[in-house]
Amino acid sequence: MSGLLDRLPAAQRRLLTEAPSGVALAARPTLAVLSDRRDFGDGWLFERKLDGVRALAVREDGRVRLLSRNGNRLDDTYPELVEALAAQPCEDFTVDGEIVAYAHGRTDFARLQRRMQLTDPDKARASGVAVTFFLFDLLRLDAMNVTALPLRTRKSLLRDALEFGPLLRFTTHRNQGGQELLDQACARGWEGLIAKRAQGRYPARRSPDWLKLKCQAGQELVVGGFTEPAGSREGFGALLVGHYESGRLRYAGKVGTGYDRATLLRLRRKLDELERRTSPFADAVHERGAHWCRPALVAQIGFSEWTRDGMLRHPRFLGLRDDKKPEDVVREAPAA
Q: Is 214 a catalytic residue?
A: no
Q: What is the DSSP letter of 35?
A: B
Q: Are 222 and 242 in contact (CB under 8 A)?
A: yes
In sequence order, which ranges of the chain are alpha helices (DSSP H)? 3-6, 10-13, 22-26, 79-86, 109-116, 121-125, 151-161, 179-187, 261-274
User: From the centroid of its chain, how far is CA 175?
Assistant: 23
- Residue of 49, 196, 214, 254 marked active site: 49
Separation of alpha carbons 283 and 295, rounded Å = 14
Could you give the residue numbers annotated as active site?
49
